Structure 1
Amino acid sequence: MYLKQGDLFWGMDKGFVKEAMSATTKVNLEEGEVAFREGDPADSFFILVKGRIKLTLGEKSREVYVAYEPGEIIGWSSLIERDTLSATARCLEPTILSKVDRQRFLQILKKYPADKATLFQRVASMLGSRLVHLYPSIA
């Protein structure tokens, strides 16, 4: 499966990767479909396997980012234990996601503290890259 080969889980404990994969569900979406909406419960996050997803904010659906790299996390609000998702994610083409259950994943992370630290460093790096991408549009 993708998760084992992607940068997000590269070099991590095989047991952790296996358990993380067990917490995922494959989601196939068509162009124009919404994976989640701003304000939805933050009970899961998604890892992009294939496709492109536009993330928008607010009533005017202001585009803030387009996820297109396999392994990118969307819906990451659930990883920082927010109650609701902060953006709407709409597919720009046929897309495959791995949906990861928040509670199961957080329980798995408790058993693998070194991998938890590595994962959050990688997520922080991913989010930093998004901010760099976003900066020109808000400056």
Structure 2
Amino acid sequence: MLFRRQDPDYQKFQSSICIRCDEFIQDTENGIKDNKKLANIWGIIHILLGLATVVLSSITTAITFYDQSDSIVLIPLLATVSAACLTFLNPSRREFKRRTAYIKFKNLNNRFKDLKLGVENSKLSKEDMLDRLANLSERYEIITEDLKPSVD
């Protein structure tokens, strides 16, 4: 409807929705950046701990067959610590969680940009703008809630 562009109340409402979209766009861009970085860090930790466990366990096995003395304790100890860290930290799960969040934030960021374009072009009613913003806000809250530390 053409009258919307002339209506000051509609323009004020439209402007406030655009500002809120910009805030969410910035928040989701931060989420994209942070989760990608954390996923990469957990991926590297997973690879390093896994390699250390395999190499140290292999050395321990080889030493067991070739050297019957009890004097070599450091290598098996390191293998055990590495395996324990791999199990306790569970970096593969943490990496997956962050990669999933990265994808969700990226998707949500695009939805907020789409909403902003629709609002700026006056193609949406006030009710439609509010419904879409509320829906996207709820999705944002769900993603951020899933990222909170949990005891599992």
Q: Same fold (TM over 0.5)?
A: no
Q: Rg bigger for which structure?
A: 2
Q: Greater helix percent: which structure?
A: 2
TM-score normalised to structure 2 length: 0.28
TM-score normalised to structure 1 length: 0.30
Q: Which has the higher contact order (CA 8 A, sep 6+)?
A: 2
